[in-house]
């Protein structure tokens, strides 16, 4: 199964933190990850890899996020971010961050379930 192409699969993990460079050094040493930096519209994004395969990312919290504690988040692949964002409130959830385009990756949004748990949803660009 390719998690980045399978609706409902967990496909990415991402650390939002105040010091991405320090976090990359810590996790790289702890787990043997290689971490590569890439420039993105919102700043430098660090991609963690094992054996050359990307497994997650490390980033600074966006300025519009307000004060947030460092945390790991996960992404679930969906066939349509639009349909998922439309369905969440009808099922008792909330849209915390509307759909945004991630250059070279796809479209994503941040949702909250009825109990308050937060999850990211993403539709990856077709290769």
Collect all residues with Cβ–Cβ distance below 8 Å to 26 and sequence separation of at least 6: none
- Is the predicted pLDDT of residue 78 greater than 90, yes or no? yes
- For residue 45, the surrounding DSSP H or E stretch is strand 43-50
- Is the predicted pLDDT of residue 66 greater than 80, yes or no? no
Q: What is the mean pLDDT of the chain?
A: 94
Which stretch of 60-69, 73-82, 114-123 has the lowest confidence by average pLDDT? 60-69
Nearest to 58 by CA among 95, 8, 12, 127: 12
Strands 71-77 and 10-17: antiparallel
Token code pair at residue 79: 């066939």
Domain topology for 10-124: 2,3-Dihydroxybiphenyl 1,2-Dioxygenase; domain 1 (3.10.180)
Query: What is the pLDDT, as a whole number, of residue 22?
Result: 97
């Amino acid at each position: 199964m390719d998690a980045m192409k399978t609706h409902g699969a967990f496909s990415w993990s991402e650390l939002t933190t105040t010091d991405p460079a320090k976090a990359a050094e810590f996790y790289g040493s702890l787990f043997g990850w290689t971490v590569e930096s890439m420039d993105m519209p919102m700043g430098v994004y660090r991609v963690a890899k094992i054996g050359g395969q990307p497994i997650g990312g490390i980033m600074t919290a966006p300025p519009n996020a307000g004060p947030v504690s460092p945390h790991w988040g996960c992404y679930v692949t969906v066939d349509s971010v639009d349909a998922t964002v439309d369905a969440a409130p009808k099922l008792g959830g909330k849209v915390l961050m509307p759909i945004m385009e991630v250059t070279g990756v796809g479209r994503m949004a941040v949702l909250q379930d009825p109990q308050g748990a937060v999850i990211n949803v993403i539709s990856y660009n077709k290769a």
